[in-house]
Chains A and B, each alone.
Chain A
């Protein structure tokens, strides 16, 4: 003899997404957005890491050095010229 009984644990019935109330839609939407945002941020972070790893960072560093150095070289040029004049025996 079988007694009909609810044995399985099912999730409570929920209206389909489009039929939910505006309030629940808003909540779900905000949460969904937050999750999507987090996912996007993680994706961007991983993409950023990918770019850093895949592209050689050497050229970037060199370019920076060039910019810094040219400025410095221009600042030191006159002094260096005088130094060579004053120490002509070693130049």
Chain B
């Protein structure tokens, strides 16, 4: 009886440890991506994908490609669920992603130019919902 209780406690502990290890990995940005984003080396494009702001390095290109492939997969699935095209869903997500940029991060304005997000609302396509 006492033995069983100990096993149960150990099971719970293992489970909790697993959750602690797994959860942040799936919900947080990769450190390299987070750093590039904070440094303004990558930014949110109007089409819903990530872009390289300045000079493209192989390392930055890898980060951006990796993110964009994953985004595209998510957009494709969600667009299908919502009877929309991939492009329509991606642009809608782009509206939201630009809105969520934090001061210091870069985003693309409707004219295509990169702009650093400040305290004011971002310059977005007039079609983007508030």
Contacts and interface: CB of A to CB of B under 8 A. Distances in A.
A89 B28 contact: yes
Given A88-B28, A89-B27, A77 B67 contact: no
Contacts, number: 66
Interface of B, secondary structure class, is: helix
A77 B127 CA distance: 11
Given A73-B129, A83-B74, A91-B71, 13 more contacts: A70-B126, A70-B127, A73-B95, A73-B128, A79-B78, A80-B89, A80-B92, A83-B78, A87-B71, A89-B25, A89-B26, A89-B29, A90-B71
Interface of B: 25-30, 67, 70-71, 74-75, 78, 81-82, 84, 88-89, 91-93, 95-97, 100, 126-129
Interface of A: 66, 69-70, 72-77, 79-81, 83-84, 87-91
B95 A80 contact: yes
Nearest to A70: B127
30 contacts: A66-B127, A69-B127, A70-B126, A70-B127, A72-B84, A73-B88, A73-B91, A73-B127, A74-B129, A76-B82, A76-B89, A76-B92, A77-B95, A79-B81, A79-B82, A80-B78, A80-B92, A80-B96, A83-B74, A83-B75, A83-B93, A84-B93, A87-B74, A88-B27, A88-B28, A89-B27, A89-B29, A90-B70, A90-B71, A91-B100
